[in-house]
Structure 1
Amino acid sequence: MNLVLILLAVIAFIVIATSKFKLHPFLTLILASFIAAFAYGLPSSDIAKTITTGFGGILGYIGLVIVLGTIIGTILEKSGAAITMADVVIKVLGQRFPTLTMSIIGYLVSIPVFCDSGFVILNSLKQSMANRMKVSSVSMSVALATGLYATHTFVPPTPGPIAAAGNLGLESNLGLVIGVGVFVAAVAALAGMLWANRFANVEPDGEGAEELKQHVEDFESLKAAYGTLPSPAKAFAPIFVPILLICLGSIANFPSKPLGTDGLFDLLVFLGQPVNALMIGLLLSLLLLKGSNKIKEFSERISQGLVVAAPILLITGAGGAFGAVLKATEIGTFLGSSLSALGIGIFMPFIVAAALKSAQGSSTVALVATSALVAPMLGDIGLASDMGRVLTVMAIGAGAMTVSHANDSFFWVVTQFSRMSVKQAYKAQTMATLVQGVTAMILVYLLSLVLL
């Protein structure tokens, strides 16, 4: 029982330090690693080595993937590729299903671009479509936000799901994580869109709401600010080609070897490794550079991407250190056997991630910390297989979206740009993320019944 009390105390420390005292999650997780190591009685001579090995181990597997994915996302964001993606979806779906259109746009854009940035980029498009189609901007805002949020928490190469996959030993099986994540995220996005439709006749009631009644030309001026927008092929290629290569590499690696074992197999296995696939995506993103001095522009985009990636790398590494300390103790075996007796299995990662998310606000921190926490006990709760680990990532992702409220930066981005009051945003956006998380978790549970 003392093992559990220590763990609860460490989790409470993480929550209080990040939410109440606003301590950076990187330092919080490192301190939590030391606290747990001393509390569990690890030999003092081994503590530093355990923490540094855990920190470097996870980044050795997944660090480059996070950096490359973030740089690609930065180039897509700055080049106007996100606007091109949105235009393509509008042309395909037309204007008959406005909230569905916004949800799909968000779903696609947030695979390479962070959901906060994605909402800012697409806000003018959202408002333009709302005015043009005479649909409530509250409904359109929630549809866009929940579409962005779905792939942000489930689909690599978004850093949170990648870090969780790395902590759970799936760094060489990201194709499977992507395949399942795309499906789970689609259902979560659909749930968010259906919730958004409840607000089809509700107008924003926050400060500056009347300013939203502006002319449709706003989106056209946004497009003009980007200059010549990239073609659809150039816009989609840097993200979807790597995803396709990673998935093909995973298929080639299936035990049945469906694609043979000759030269094609070797090629697909090489190209399907996440670092190699994302390097190809980075090369494809060079086609999006428009300045006269492309080398200089490329260097600037790399610098901007590294600034975004740095805190994510540090948090991910700190999560790996925390996980390494827990793996060195008996807590995993004890909790695993105890939870097996309770029979909550796949729901346990969801509950932990939801508690962390609701308490401290960051989905990425919830994904990293929860995956580090549950990794040592997967065998004891029957989730040690590859599919079990993948579904654990999905369960953690579902928890990491439950719920987005006042301590989450994304909540404030949606609220402020949509001119919703806090009360209205809780009813519309926060409840939407609750619906998304619970729906996704129910789906993950049903998948576990079929696939495990």
Structure 2
Amino acid sequence: MDDSSMLLNAFFVIASILAIILLTSRWKFNVFASLFSVSFVLALLTIPMPKVIDLLKVSFGNTMGGIAFVIIFGTVIAICMEKSGAVRSIASHILNFTGKRRAKQATALTGFIPGLTIFCDTGFIILSGIAKNFSAQSKTAMPLMAAILGCSLYAAHCLIPTHPGALGAAVELDANIGYLVVFGILFAIPGAIAAYFWATLMSKGQNFEPAKEETTIVSEDLTKLPSFKASLLPILLPLLLISISTLFSALGLKTGSVAEIIHFLGNPVIALLIGAIIGLTLFKKKGKESLSEVIEEAIGKAGPILIITASGGMFGSIIRETGVGGALGELLSGASVSLLVPFILAALLKTAQGSSTVAALTTAGIVTPILTHLGLDSEMGRVFTVLALGAGSAVVSHANDSYFWVVTKFSDIEVDQSLRVFTTSTFVMGVVMFICIWVTSLFIL
């Protein structure tokens, strides 16, 4: 491809990204329709016409195949945790353990633990009543509690591949999902801690009020809820199985009957299936019809997520097919930018159009062809690339992000309060996560 054709393709790619930003953020057009229409037009402009339809189908299908079961089973776990009262059980036990004086810490733990598998927006809707209860009991400002809960959920959402952005990027980059789960949890922790302290700082000296009405969620009879241990099991067991499998791989234990069983059980699909089955057992004295309703609701909620994520993967594949990524890699060859590229690209896309998932998937499509030039074309290089773009996809959540409005509206706080505390905390969180990722990469890559 000559230079003029490459420049034209680069123009089309930039224009397509801007088109998605305008369609989804400014004009509030449906995300799937935006991704598909822009992907289709970009393919027609940059790829030989006979290849267009096959590329659209194959790229969409490959992404769907890589994420479908994980997303569906993860959603089943989320619905089971909500409907059975397991999330309320976790929150109640955490508050009883920490006491009202440590309600902020209780809120952070209440968000982070379920957030390992539950999507951030769903998790916040489920837990917002608990956060209000914590705020009312401890007389802690509600904007602060909302930011702590929102960021605790959000840190896990952006880094751990039980969530669509990180998972779709991992599939696009062919990164080891087991390593991503382990490292994602490790790096999400300092991000959530940084957001906690920043939100506390931004709330000082402000005339913020605690929640006015104390709900009865935390004070309800715990004997009617699943036990604390049983409530944790659907979340922690899948992550434990994946982590053990990853440890076996790191130690070179890949053959033999025991290792094969461990790797089978630690496959993310099987691990989350086990978590989903355990989640269904949380329902006491529920008939087949009730359990069937839970599964149907989970599939209904997972459907839009699957379609949008697969569409984002399709868009990224078309960008890769244009050859623009390779040309960018040649320009960056020799530059000591490494993980900064996926982080900055994802941060810019997230800030501009609002969706962390779209930002992560689009960035993955751009950086995949340039991994060699960035010195990241290795197993751990791909893992850290996904982590870096995941951290970037957290920067920042503001008015063009649906999650921002979930945090604001379900907390009954003002927009300017949410911007001051929650939005700035997402910026600090994403930057801190990236710094931790980058420093660690200096010793591993």
- Shorter-chain TM range is over 0.9
CA deviations over 1:404-429 (Å, ceiling 9, x no partner): 11112221222223332222221111
How has the CA–CA distance of structure 1 residues 234 and 201 changed in structure 2, closer, same or farther, with 3 Å as cutoff? farther
- The Cα shift of 1:129 comes to 2.2
Q: Which of 125, 136, 142 in structure 2 is aligned with 1:131?
A: 136
Contact 2:108 2:149 in 1 (8 A): yes
Q: Supply the distance in 2 between the matched residues of 1:316 and 1:129 (Cα, whole angstroms).
A: 34
2:243 corresponds to 1:238: no
1:180 is matched with 183
Q: Supply the distance in 1 between the matched residues of 2:327 and 2:69 (Cα, whole angstroms).
A: 34
Q: Supply the distance in 2 between the matched residues of 1:249 and 1:420 (Cα, whole angstroms).
A: 43
Q: Supply the distance in 2 between the matched residues of 1:389 and 1:59 (Cα, whole angstroms).
A: 20
- The Cα shift of 1:201 comes to 5.4
Contact 1:77 1:113 in 2 (8 A): no
Q: Which amino acid aligns with 2:338?
A: G
- The Cα shift of 1:185 comes to 0.6
2:108 is matched with 103
Q: Which of 331, 340, 351 in structure 1 is aligned with 2:344?
A: 351
If the length of structure 1 is used for normalisation, what is the TM-score?
A: 0.91
2:384 corresponds to 1:391: yes
Q: Which of 202, 206, 210 in structure 1 is aligned with 2:206?
A: 202
Q: Supply the distance in 1 between the matched residues of 2:121 and 2:205 (Cα, whole angstroms).
A: 25
Q: Supply the distance in 2 between the matched residues of 1:97 and 1:179 (Cα, whole angstroms).
A: 28
1:35 is matched with 41
2:298 is matched with 305
1:94 is matched with 99
1:191 is matched with 194
Contact 2:397 2:403 in 1 (8 A): yes
Q: Supply the distance in 2 between the matched residues of 1:317 and 1:414 (Cα, whole angstroms).
A: 26
Q: Supply the distance in 2 between the matched residues of 1:116 and 1:166 (Cα, whole angstroms).
A: 23
Number of matched residues?
438
Contact 1:84 1:229 in 2 (8 A): yes
- The Cα shift of 1:388 comes to 1.3
- The Cα shift of 1:122 comes to 2.1
Q: Supply the distance in 2 between the matched residues of 1:292 and 1:56 (Cα, whole angstroms).
A: 36
Moved over 6 A (4+): none
Secondary structure of the corresponding residue to residue 378 of structure 1: helix
Equivalent residues in 2 for 1:53-452, closer than 5 Å: 53-170=58-175, 173-198=176-201, 199-200=203-204, 202-204=206-208, 212-215=211-214, 218-220=216-218, 223=220, 228-254=224-250, 256-257=251-252, 259=253, 261-293=255-287, 295-452=288-445
Q: Which amino acid aligns with 2:98?
A: L
Secondary structure of the corresponding residue to residue 344 of structure 1: coil
Q: Which amino acid aligns with 2:155?
A: A
Q: Supply the distance in 1 between the matched residues of 2:405 and 2:284 (Cα, whole angstroms).
A: 33
Stretches of structure 2 lacking an aligned partner (at least 5 in a row):
1-6
- The Cα shift of 1:345 comes to 2.1
Q: Supply the distance in 2 between the matched residues of 1:49 and 1:195 (Cα, whole angstroms).
A: 48
- The Cα shift of 1:21 comes to 2.1
Stretches of structure 1 lacking an aligned partner (at least 5 in a row):
none
CA deviations over 1:191-234 (Å, ceiling 9, x no partner): 11001212155343xxxx68x3334x53346x46x982111222
Range 187-196 or range 402-411, more displaced:
402-411
Q: Supply the distance in 1 between the matched residues of 2:59 and 2:254 (Cα, whole angstroms).
A: 36
Q: Supply the distance in 2 between the matched residues of 1:264 and 1:333 (Cα, whole angstroms).
A: 42
Q: Supply the distance in 2 between the matched residues of 1:22 and 1:61 (Cα, whole angstroms).
A: 28
- The Cα shift of 1:281 comes to 1.2
- The Cα shift of 1:98 comes to 2.8
Contact 2:347 2:392 in 1 (8 A): yes
Secondary structure of the corresponding residue to residue 402 of structure 1: coil
How has the CA–CA distance of structure 1 residues 164 and 88 changed in structure 2, closer, same or farther, with 3 Å as cutoff? farther
Q: Supply the distance in 2 between the matched residues of 1:248 and 1:275 (Cα, whole angstroms).
A: 15
Range 135-144 or range 431-440, more displaced:
135-144
2:53 corresponds to 1:24: no
RMSD: 2.1
- The Cα shift of 1:108 comes to 0.9
CA deviations over 1:38-58 (Å, ceiling 9, x no partner): 332x22111111111111112
How has the CA–CA distance of structure 1 residues 220 and 63 changed in structure 2, closer, same or farther, with 3 Å as cutoff? closer
Contact 1:136 1:202 in 2 (8 A): no
Q: Which amino acid aligns with 2:226?
A: P
Secondary structure of the corresponding residue to residue 67 of structure 2: helix
Contact 1:289 1:297 in 2 (8 A): no
Contact 1:353 1:399 in 2 (8 A): yes
If the length of structure 2 is used for normalisation, what is the TM-score?
A: 0.92
Contact 1:106 1:148 in 2 (8 A): yes
Q: Supply the distance in 2 between the matched residues of 1:201 and 1:94 (Cα, whole angstroms).
A: 24
Contact 2:194 2:428 in 1 (8 A): yes
Contact 1:67 1:305 in 2 (8 A): yes
How has the CA–CA distance of structure 1 residues 398 and 292 changed in structure 2, closer, same or farther, with 3 Å as cutoff? closer
Q: Supply the distance in 1 between the matched residues of 2:345 and 2:353 (Cα, whole angstroms).
A: 12
